[in-house]
Amino acid sequence: MHVHLRDPGFTEKEDIFSGCRAAAAGGVTSLLCMPNTNPVLDSAEMVKYVLEKARGACANVYAAGAITEGLRG
């Protein structure tokens, strides 16, 4: 499922664990988080950060990395 987990940078709106809990409560097992975070998921290091943080969450988390630096298109 396409989601905006807002982690890193906007965790007051959503974070990896609250998004996973909501997904699991609705029967969703896998999430694809979008790269519009702060900083943007535009490097291997940032994608790795999300995937490592999501380890052990109650849903599978995949990360869509931005194809341009800073989402500048």
| Cα–Cα distance, 19 to 27 (Å, whole number) | 12
Q: What is the pLDDT, as a whole number, of residue 73?
A: 84
Pairing mode of beta strands 30-33, 2-3: parallel
Contact predicate 67/35, CB 8 Å: no
Over residues 25-55, the pLDDT tens digits come to 999 999 999 999 999 999 999 999 999 999 9
Q: What is the mean pLDDT of residues 2-29?
A: 96
Q: What is the pLDDT, as a whole number, of residue 61?
A: 98
pLDDT band at 3 (very low <50, low <70, confident <90, very high): very high
Mean pLDDT of the chain: 96
